[in-house]
Amino acid sequence: MSARTMPAIVLMLALTAACDDTPVAPADPPPPDPVEGLTAEESVALFRGITRLSFADANALHPGSVLVDCPKGGQVEVIETIEEFQADGGSAEMDAAFTIIPTRCQMRTQGNLFIVDGDPGLRTEMHLEADRVGFREVVHITGTITGDLSWQLHLRTGSCPIYGTLDAWASVVPDPDSHGSGYFTGSVCGHEVKIDTSNLLQPPPFPT
């Protein structure tokens, strides 16, 4: 090989090496894992827990704002408004509204330990009407429950929109052996549900 051709070969090898060393653009990072929401069973547990806790105090029917302590820490503010009136037929009726605002409310329900905050909270609007079934005086309760909660369960977090209707019956005189009957029908955390409310909402004594 002549001395003249040596520089050309060296230059060619250098260019080839430079091309081989060209950095390769990194592959796109994998997409983040999807946020796992609550299952239908967990959603019902959350609904049962927060309504049972909130309405346990609301049964006293005292308008205004009260604070309810949560079993494992935190609290729920319950804001109540009550309007009593006589219907055209002379029967006693009542409109009641409850706004519940949990703050770091920790509660264990159906084996799940939730931490719940208002996002902004839940509002229940109910119409109560006295009626008679046989020899029993009863209250027919109709209304709606709407709002949003934020929740934490183990390492998961998320938001839970709630909206639906309430239809229930209960004795005018509180009966520890009979909690009446009724259902909440609607959507909880994105799941269509029909929840038995007989063990959730013991309707308050109707004014006489």
Within a domain: residue 182? yes
Within a domain: residue 28? no
What is the tens place of the pLDDT at every residue in 169-187?
A: 877 766 666 667 899 999 9
Query: 161-200 burial by CB neighbour count: b if 16+ within 10 A, else e?
Result: ebebebebbbbbeeeeeebbebbbebebbebebebebeeb
What is the tens place of the pLDDT at every residue in 130-152?
A: 877 677 778 889 999 999 999 99
Residue-level pLDDT at 28: 63
CA 98/CA 55 separation, integer angstroms: 9
What is the domain extent for residue 89? Answer: 36-196
Give the confidence band of 66 by pLDDT, cuts at 50, 70, 90.
confident
Within a domain: residue 13? no
Within a domain: residue 14? no
Residue-level pLDDT at 162: 97
Terminal Cα-to-Cα distance of the chain (whole angstroms): 118
What is the tens place of the pLDDT at every residue in 17-59?
A: 444 455 555 566 655 445 579 999 999 999 999 988 877 655 5
Task: Tell me 16's DSSP state.
Answer: H
Residue-level pLDDT at 132: 74
Provide mean pLDDT across the span 107-126.
93
Give CA angle at 42 (41, 47), nearest 5°.
100
Within a domain: residue 40? yes
Within a domain: residue 179? yes
CA 56/CA 202 separation, integer angstroms: 8
Helices and strands in the chain: count of H runs, count of E runs = 2, 9
Within a domain: residue 2? no
CA 87/CA 89 separation, integer angstroms: 5
Residue-level pLDDT at 205: 43
Provide mean pLDDT across the span 95-105.
93
Residue, of 61 and 192, whose pLDDT is higher: 192
Q: Is the pLDDT of residue 122 over 90?
A: yes
Residue-level pLDDT at 130: 84
Within a domain: residue 26? no
DSSP-assigned states of every residue in 114-129: EEEEEEEEEEEEEEEE
For residue 175, the Cα-to-chain-centroid distance in whole angstroms is 29
Provide mean pLDDT across the span 4-16.
46
Number of domains in the chain: 1
Residue-level pLDDT at 113: 94
Give CA angle at 124 (57, 164), nearest 5°.
130
Q: Which of 77, 91, 65 is nearest to 206 (CA)?
A: 91
